[in-house]
Amino acid sequence: MVLANSAEQPLPVRTVARSISEWVARLGRVWVEGQVTQLSRRPGTVFLTLRDPVADVSLAVTCSRSVAESVLPPLVEGARVVVHAKPDFYIGRGTLSLQALEIRPVGVGELLARLERLKGVLAAEGLFAADRKRALPFLPRRVGLITGRAGAAERDVLENARRRWPAVDIAVREVAVQGHLAVEQVIGALRELDHDPVVDVIVIARGGGSVEDLLPFSDEALCRAVVACRTPVVSAIGHEPDSPLLDLVADVRCSTPTDAGKRVVPDVQEEAARVRQLRDRGHRVVVSTLGRERSRLEALRSRPVLATPTTLVDTRRADVLGLRERARRCTDARWQSAQSDLAHVLARVVALSPQATLDRGYAVVQDEDGAVVRDAAAVPAGADLQVRLARGTLLVTAD
């Protein structure tokens, strides 16, 4: 309901306060979960502050002593509770509070059940997947450390890291590691270190504690902030049995802060020994390679072709001389055979030649036209004839 008012006709404070009280009274009863702080027991009434475990928000709560004393285990500061209350606006001081009708403690079982449900949601989104985890740098330029103020976790990380690598540069951010301010301060330090370009790895470390003490490190906002970081994040919360959700979303999970100090930097003595081993191994490889190549060169030099390079030429020269001699013999044989064949043919030609017949005392008679006279009756008397002898020709007249 909006009351009519203006600068000329303002509403009295009592009217505004009464309207707010009436509006709050219509809200009805609500269930509220929070952490108990500033617990004060007075005769007949118990006053406490219910603070949000993540944000810096709180509400005043009042209840009767009977309601407070019915809570088991008894109420103490820091306890997580669920309150069934009715909102109430006190007009006299203009304050809002909750009038508690019932208070129920949040047990460890309920907390663990909630963590399991949140774990299932984050796992379904792939925040625990191994393929999104980043490897730690071999030698970080600067290590960011988020831890409690002057705690054993800080000492364990610093001592072990500097014992392994004395020159390591560590930027420490001291924050609350339990309570309602823990999540906000850890996220703030995480974002600050993540935006530092020199920081190559961030370690979130805390000592052991109860389930309630470690609840900030299972907070959904913190888990998502770790996933959003560009810098690899190492979780070193509690001891080996402790397993907050931060261990599952971090890139590397260490069992203790001491283990984190050993994981983020290499051991200078181990690396020096590894360098010596690699140097010795390289020396042995070089010496072995040189020896093997020297042996190969000696083997090559001992081969006849390199020991006496003229051997190959001499061998080829002998082959050439042999082939040339063979060609000469073949040529001579062919020439003699051809000469013999020619002599035989010549003899046959000579034997068949008319000259050979003439040489034996025969003569060839030819008429004036040069035709050979084979029949004496065919020659008329007084015809001029030529008589061809072995040597010379006679001119005769037929009688």
Task: For residue range 321-349, list pLDDT tens digits in order.
Answer: 999 999 999 999 999 999 999 989 888 88
Task: For residue range 126-150, list pLDDT tens digits in order.
Answer: 888 888 889 998 889 999 999 988 7
**DSSP per-residue letters across 187-216:** HHHHHHHHT-TTEEEEEEEE----TTTTGG
In the predicted model, what is the mean pLDDT of residues 242-270?
Answer: 87
Determine the pLDDT at residue 201.
93
- The mean of the pLDDT values for the chain is 84
Instruction: List the beta bridge partners of residue 62.
Output: 47, 99
In the predicted model, what is the mean pLDDT of residues 99-122?
Answer: 76
Residue 359 has pLDDT above 90, yes or no: no
Instruction: List the beta bridge partners of residue 81.
Output: 34, 105
* Phi and psi torsions of 71, nearest 5°: -80, 130
Query: What is the 3 state secondary structure string of 371-391?
Result: CECCCHHHCCCCCEEEEECCC
Task: For residue range 196-246, list pLDDT tens digits in order.
Answer: 999 999 999 988 777 667 878 888 888 999 999 999 999 988 776 667 888
Half-sphere exposure of 276 (CA within 13 A, CB side): 6
Whether pTM > 0.85 for this model: the answer is: no
Both tokens assigned to 46: 């118990």
Q: Please determine whether the domains at 13-106 and 112-130+142-266 fall in the same fold group of CATH.
A: no
Weakest-pLDDT range from 18-27, 105-114, 121-130: 105-114
Determine the pLDDT at residue 237.
87
Q: 112-130+142-266: what fold?
A: Rossmann fold (3.40.50)
% of the chain residues with pLDDT over 70: 95
DSSP E strands in 210-318: the ranges are 233-237, 252-253
For residue 104, the Cα-to-chain-centroid distance in whole angstroms is: 52
Determine the pLDDT at residue 77.
79
Split at pLDDT 50, 70, 90, the class of 40 is confident
Q: Write down the domain spans for the chain.
A: 13-106, 112-130+142-266, 269-304, 355-397
Out of 13-22, 287-296, 297-306, give the one with best mean pLDDT: 287-296
Task: For residue range 154-187, list pLDDT tens digits in order.
Answer: 888 888 888 888 888 999 998 988 877 788 889 9
What is 13-106's CATH superfamily? Nucleic acid-binding proteins (2.40.50.140)
Determine the pLDDT at residue 109.
57
Residue 298: CB atoms within 10 Å: 9
Residue 5 has pLDDT above 80, yes or no: no
Residue whose pair of structure tokens reads 């989104």 in the numeric block: 125
Determine the pLDDT at residue 293.
92
Q: Exposed (0-12), middle (13-18) or buried (19+): which is 211, by Cβ within 10 Å?
A: middle
